[in-house]
Amino acid sequence: MVDTSIAKDPENGSRARKSSGPLRAAWGYALERPERVLSPLLLLALIGAWHVAAMTLGLPEFILPPPVKVWQALVDGLSASPFDVGGYWYHTGITAFEALSGFLLGSSAGIIVGMTVAHSRIVERVLYPYIIAIQSLPKIAIAPLFVIWFGFGIEPKILITTIITFFPLLVNSIAGANSVDPARIDLARSCNATPMQMFFKITLPSALPFIFAGLNMAAVLSILGAIVGEFVGAQAGLGMLILQRNELLDIAAVYSIFVVLAALGLTMHLTMRALERKLCFWSQRNRYKADLDGG
């Protein structure tokens, strides 16, 4: 791939220093990529401040549990077997499954419908006002309805996640398909491209950066959809677990589930990012991001 590792600050002499001892090397690394050192330091500082606040402010534990307790809850929850309904793995698996299946269903449907709609200008013009209207609705609001229709199992959660992730991909696919450089279309037409060839070799790849912007958005929304779905009524999942621990006033456990959720979100995000870098390596936006995290 392209070499994006051009040093950004000219006075950066760390490369020369690298060879003279591990400490210097570490220092050089810190100078070159300050965020990689500062980000973890910030986390430590925040946990430290939290700890001090919990010790000195004298707030009750159901408002501000000390970090050690949260850590303890996290370790307890994660040391249980994946089949133990009292542990975290089981519920994380359920929530991840709901989020992921909804994400896959919703986003692929969004891409297919979006590309089909964009193919015909008249269909697009007829549907667009409805798409915009529905998009601005808080789709979460139908979650209670789904519980009535489909019960307390995982189906209503997958369905709500599907609906939530469908729209960003619908809108972005339409925008992506419409943004294809007409010169590329002329090029393909001058070579007698069939509609299928046009779609797979020109339109779809050209729209890919837009599609990935939609996928990134949908990845975040999918976890939100699964959690809210579980809030409304569920027998399992991290959302259900939060409500349960909340009722027991085990706030340290609630906090520790937040940590699990954050890890889930981060995993999803990094996976999407890796996929984007693989498939969309040529897109400008991607180059810039790759530059930011040094890869």
Partner 1 sequence: MTQTAPRLMAVDDPMIESETLNRPPIIEIEDLNKVYRTRRHGDVNALSQINLTVRDGEFIALVGPSGCGKSTLLKILAGLLPRTSGNVTINGSALDGPSRDIGVVFQQPVLLPWRNIMQNVLLPLEFGRDRTREDLQGRALELLKMVGLEGFETRYPEELSGGMQQRAAIVRALIQDPRMLLMDEPFGALDAMTREQMNLEVLRIWQQNKKTVLFVTHSISEAVFLADRVVVMTPRPGAIAEILEIDLPRPRRLEMINSEQFGVYATRIRRLLNAMEDLS
Binding interface with partner 1 (CB under 8 A): 2, 181, 183-184, 186-194, 197, 201-202, 205, 208, 281-283
Residue 151 Cβ vs partner 1, minimum distance, rounded to whole Å: 45
CA 198 to chain centre: 31
Nearer to partner 1, 141 or 187 (CB): 187
What CA–CA distance (Å, rounded) separates 220 from 228? 13
User: Which value, to the nearest 10 degrees, does the dihedral of the CA atoms of residues 138, 143, 145, 150 take?
Assistant: 150
Residue 107 Cβ vs partner 1, minimum distance, rounded to whole Å: 21
What CA–CA distance (Å, rounded) separates 215 from 221? 10
* Cβ-based neighbour number of residue 229 at 10 Å: 31
What CA–CA distance (Å, rounded) separates 101 from 115? 21
Residue 204 Cβ vs partner 1, minimum distance, rounded to whole Å: 11
CA 284 to chain centre: 20
Distances, alpha carbon 69 to alpha carbons 53, 61, 143, in Å: 14, 10, 33
Residue 279 Cβ vs partner 1, minimum distance, rounded to whole Å: 9
What CA–CA distance (Å, rounded) separates 130 from 165? 17
What CA–CA distance (Å, rounded) separates 176 from 213? 10
Nearer to partner 1, 23 or 183 (CB): 183
Contact between 119 and 177 (Cβ < 8 Å): yes
Nearer to partner 1, 8 or 278 (CB): 278
Residue 287 Cβ vs partner 1, minimum distance, rounded to whole Å: 9
- Backbone phi, psi, residue 237, to 5°: 110, 160
Residue 220 Cβ vs partner 1, minimum distance, rounded to whole Å: 26
Residue 111 Cβ vs partner 1, minimum distance, rounded to whole Å: 17
Distances, alpha carbon 130 to alpha carbons 84, 120, 127, 173, 212, in Å: 45, 16, 5, 16, 23
Q: Specify the amino acid at residue 175.
A: A
Residue 123 Cβ vs partner 1, minimum distance, rounded to whole Å: 20
